[in-house]
Structure 1
Amino acid sequence: MQDETPTDWLRAELQDTLDEDYEIELEDAALSLEISRIYREKHPNQMIRADYFRELLRLQSELIRLQDWVSYHKEKVVVIFEGRDSAGKGGAIKRISQRLNPRVCRVVALPAPSDREKSQWYFQRYVSHLPAGGEIVLFDRSWYNRAGVERVMGFASETQVDQFFDDVPEFERMLVRSGIRLVKYWFSITDEEQQMRFLMRIHDPLKQWKLSPMDLQSRVRWEDYTKAKEEMLMQTNIPEAPWYIVPGNDKKRARLNCISHLLDQFPYEDVPHEEVALPNRVFNPDYERDVLPPELFVPQRY
């Protein structure tokens, strides 16, 4: 260790970073070899892994610059991610937030509303999660549940849906007028692609938790979701907060394209930083460190 140079240390740190990325990628792999083989046949032009990681790391470094700009100028940013089940929203959100400060960038994924929340103004439970100055909020599904799953599954009446379409443009204009920068993404996949991803989840014990009865019903009601999506986009695509569609059949390209486009939405630039210097450790020659009992330590199994 004494012969280790700063270059060696940085190389080791980079390798640790790549190991984390590989771990995430392994999470995306299907454990069923046959389904994995079929999936590769359906996606013959996938990006070379090294090229993907290189570009992802470059874009994530830009996201850190964006984060610093948001924090420094007390900007307020909301990014909405919508799309069919398994369209890739979660994967994109994970890569966006992966290297950012959780005190600046947080993910909001709300469960089904409680009985109390159902009696509130529809937008009320989302308002409490909106950003303060210097914050970025990523909504993994949002108030657009009313125009999608709630409508298709019968949890909202047509009267409630019509009221939502009347209200949401003005609600979003209010957010923009308050200084919030609002960006909305719809991740789009084909019928065949969703079927393939659902099959991969069924055969992957690490991902079966992602499949709920509601997800399975979404397969049955594919056309209903299509009609609901088309009307939602038509009714809520306003100049102050337009929709952006992300073609999602190719997961890696979808993530890179989404992050690249998101960065383009902001006039971010480098901001002043205080120079960081590591202070000297205070050394007390009279201090003796106590020996802790072994039962306090985690067993060294690896």
Structure 2
Amino acid sequence: MYYLPVVGAVANAFSVIFQRIILVKKKVDIKSFQVTAFLAATLLFLPFVYFFFHVSPEALTTTNIILFLVVILFSIVANLALFYSIKGEKISSLEPAFALEPLFTVILAVIASFFFEGLFDRNLNIVIPAFIAGIALVLSHVKRHHLRFDNYFIAAIVASFFFASELVVSKFILDYYTPLTFYFLRCLGVFLVSLLIFRPKFSGINNKIRLEILGIAFLWISFRVIVYYGYLNLGVVFTTLIVMLAPIFTYFLAWWILKEKIRWQDIVTSLIIIACVVYAVLI
């Protein structure tokens, strides 16, 4: 069961790299990309919805519907901020901001655990390694020039915060859906709202790019469904700790595909994260 979040981390790393390629090299605007990508994710789900669709009656209460709408809103904000940041800046320059997402997730989950007993992890054998890994991930990327925040870096921080907030809010209602159902409805909601608001033109997206976006949507689905499964079965903090392996794969892929350099700090941080994950799994 522990290996599934690792698979999710790999999928997430690939999706970040390919998103930058489409947004920058293929020059697709962020609004068109958001609408097209979430349409692709929704369509990919359709063959499975018939077999795996499940929504408990509790999901239809007023409170839980509002929480689901909050998830959709946070997702729209987070994705727009993410696409804007990676379209305008190198991934390696944005990593300090992206590194905040797991740390935000752990902090928000721990805070929520004091108000909602039993819903979130508070096991110190998991929480402490998660904090250590998260802080190491952030500190390894802090450089003097990053103290001068530009619009792209701020957008990446906004994306990290809203992705983390979305994931924590999702935990409150995940039990009322299957992971596949929840992500399908989330993607459908984001697509419909984004289409209504942005009304993008798709003339600049040819069939080849559409297929590439379909591939990215598949990676999104793989990552998020695995994360939701982990939240339900392993806990939020523990799953987040394992998913922190994603930057390790991102470093490698950025070096391999985008020809960006790997620093010694990245190697040290990777070893710390691996050590924290191994400790949490064995303990």
Shorter-chain TM-score range? under 0.3
**TM-score, with length taken from structure 2:** 0.27
**TM-score, with length taken from structure 1:** 0.26
Query: Structure 1 or 2: larger helix share?
Result: 2
Query: Structure 1 or 2: larger strand share?
Result: 1
